[in-house]
Structure 1
Amino acid sequence: MHPAPSVIIFTTLSGLGFGLLFFLGLGMPDVTGWVAFVFYAMAFGLSVGGLMASTFHLGHPERAWKAFTQWRSSWLSREGWCAVIALILLGFYALGAVFFGQRWGVLGVLGALFSLATVFTTSMIYTQLKTIPRWNMKLTPIMFLSFSLAGGSLLAGQVSLAVPLLVVAAVAQTFYWWQGDKAFANSGTNLGTATGLGQRGAVRAFEPPHTGTNYLLREFVHVVGRKHADKLRVISFVLAFLLPVILLILPFNHFFALLAALSHVAGVAVSRWLFFAQAEHVVGLYYGKR
């Protein structure tokens, strides 16, 4: 798939933002007043900023509101509803913490649950696509949720939780890459099934369908060299997991904590780029690209 900057920003920032909102809704950290304002401003900024970035990949962003009407069948619509409900509930919860020094527990817990639901529904937008075997796996929502919880705990300053959650996210990412590399071959889809000629024998492309490019080639056929992908995976793993864990297990230092958070965000962004760039759409078979 074409790794559009808008969806990379969206999946990176919204996962971190809603992960942070999850922990804030559960009272971690238990802050009020101006300190709470800073935490909630960061969480809402990441969440809303990520959601807004996603609209730039739409052909008609002004029509995005229409997605809310399709909640019965669309994971995109469900994501929208979960996000709005989470932001409203935690918005009122934040008002209580910032201006009244109160924690309205029910609102916080419900908001936290809807925050995780938002991340899950986001992951299901991709998981449901059988035409992209690398996404069509149970590991996809596990990876999204583990990233969100690890990043959220890190931004919330919950070091005792962040270290094991980063390890869990690292394991999820590793298994996702391992299974994803085999997903296209294991799907049983090939040029024979794509053309419907497989029963006649082995099928190969004699020449491309046309000499120019088109929308399908621009959006759904993006090839990343294996050497480049391997290097980017190492960079992503080190920045997102290894370096933050090392910095967190050292004697606590606010500067180290900041470096850990920044490193994690950078690593997640690289991982998200690979998530889209390495997603092989089956339509590539028709063009001899798989």
Structure 2
Amino acid sequence: MHPAPSVIIFTTLSGIGFGMLAWLGIDATPPQGWVAFAFFFIAYALAVGGLISSTFHLGHPERALKAFTQWRTSWLSREGVCAVAGLCVMGLYAAALIFLGTHVPILGWIGAALSLLTVFTTSMIYGQLATIPRWNTPLTSVLYLAYALTGGALLTGRVSIAITLLLVTTAVQILWWLRGDKAFADRGSSLETATGLGNLGTVRSVAHPHTSPNYLMKEFIHVVGRKHAQKLRIISLILMAGLPILLLSIHVGHIFALLAVLSHVAGVATSRWLFFAEAEHTVGLYYGMR
């Protein structure tokens, strides 16, 4: 798949933002006043900023509102509905903390649930696609939720929980990669199944269906070298988990915590680039590019 910057920014920032909102929602002793304002401002900036960036990948961003009408069949529409509902509920929860100094636990728990449900719906946009075997697994949802909870724990200052989640997320990410590397072959798709001509015998591509790249080739076929992919995987794990754990273990201070968060975000963005760049769409078989 083409690793569009807008989608990478969206999945990286919104996931961390909604993860942060989830942790703020279940906090038994949440911050109040200006401190609460600072935490919620960061969470909303990440969540909303990520959602806005996703619209830049649309051919007609002005039609984005129409997506909300398809919630019965579309995970993209469900994502939008859950995101708006979660942001509204958390907005009321935050307002009570900031302006009234009042903690309303039920609003926080509902908002936290909707925030994580938003992340889940985002993951299902990709996880439900049978045409991309690497994504088509429940592990995709586990991965997205793990990243959201880990980033949220880091940004809300839950150091011990964050370190544990960094290790868990690393294990999930490695497992997702190992499973994904053989997913396309295990699916059994071939040029015969792609063209529907298998009943006639062995099929081979004599020439590409098009003399120049078309939309499908630009969006659904992206080739990244295996050596480069392996290097980027190592870099993403070091930035996402290795360096943050080291920084948080050395000293729990604002500077080290900020560096840990920045490193984590960079690592998540790298893994997200690989998430899209390594995805093998079965349409590539039809074009003889798998």
CA shift for structure 1 position 30: 2.0
Aligned to 1:92: 92
Aligned to 2:53: 53
CA distance in 2, matches of 1:124, 1:23: 22
Q: What is the letter of the counterpart of residue 198 of structure 2?
A: G
The 3-state SS of whatever aligns with 2:137 is coil
**1:106-131 Cα deviation digits (max 9, x unpaired):** 10000000000000000000011111
TM-score (ref. length: structure 2): 0.98
Aligned to 1:169: 169
Q: What is the letter of the counterpart of residue 38 of structure 1?
A: A
CA distance in 2, matches of 1:28, 1:148: 20
CA distance in 2, matches of 1:2, 1:59: 15
CA shift for structure 1 position 208: 1.4
CA RMSD of the aligned region, Å?
1.0
Q: What is the letter of the counterpart of residue 271 of structure 2?
A: S
CA distance in 1, matches of 2:119, 2:212: 38
- Is 1:180–2:219 an aligned residue pair? no
Q: Tell me, which stretches of 5 or more residues in structure 1 are unaligned?
A: none
Cα 1:79–1:244 change in 2 (3 A) is same
Aligned to 2:120: 120
Mapped contact 1:28–1:156 kept (Cα < 8 A): no
**1:236-283 Cα deviation digits (max 9, x unpaired):** 010001111111222322211111100000000001111111111111
Q: What is the letter of the counterpart of residue 115 of structure 1?
A: S
Correspondence list, 1:153-164, <5 A: 153-164=153-164
TM-score (ref. length: structure 1): 0.98
Q: What is the letter of the counterpart of residue 264 of structure 1?
A: H
Q: What is the letter of the counterpart of residue 225 of structure 2?
A: G
Correspondence list, 1:1-290, <5 A: 1-27=1-27, 30-290=30-290
Larger mean CA deviation between 193-202 and 160-169 belongs to 193-202
Mapped contact 1:240–1:265 kept (Cα < 8 A): yes
CA distance in 1, matches of 2:87, 2:111: 7
CA distance in 2, matches of 1:259, 1:92: 31
Q: What is the letter of the counterpart of residue 232 of structure 1?
A: L
**1:123-171 Cα deviation digits (max 9, x unpaired):** 0000111111111111100000000000000011001110111111111
Q: Tell me, which stretches of 5 or more residues in structure 2 are unaligned?
A: none
What is the percent sequence identity of the aligned residues?
62
Mapped contact 1:55–1:61 kept (Cα < 8 A): yes
**1:26-52 Cα deviation digits (max 9, x unpaired):** 127621111111100000000000000
Q: What is the letter of the counterpart of residue 212 of structure 2?
A: G
CA distance in 1, matches of 2:69, 2:210: 39
CA distance in 2, matches of 1:240, 1:134: 21
Q: What is the letter of the counterpart of residue 146 of structure 2?
A: S
CA distance in 1, matches of 2:283, 2:29: 47
Moved over 4 A (4+): none
CA distance in 2, matches of 1:252, 1:209: 58
Cα 1:28–1:264 change in 2 (3 A) is farther
Larger mean CA deviation between 93-102 and 118-127 belongs to 93-102
Q: What is the letter of the counterpart of residue 190 of structure 1?
A: S
The 3-state SS of whatever aligns with 2:269 is helix
Mapped contact 1:29–1:156 kept (Cα < 8 A): no
Q: What is the letter of the counterpart of residue 171 of structure 1?
A: A
CA distance in 2, matches of 1:272, 1:29: 33
CA distance in 2, matches of 1:113, 1:275: 25
The 3-state SS of whatever aligns with 2:252 is coil
CA shift for structure 1 position 5: 0.7
Task: Report the number of matched residues.
Answer: 290
Cα 1:131–1:99 change in 2 (3 A) is same
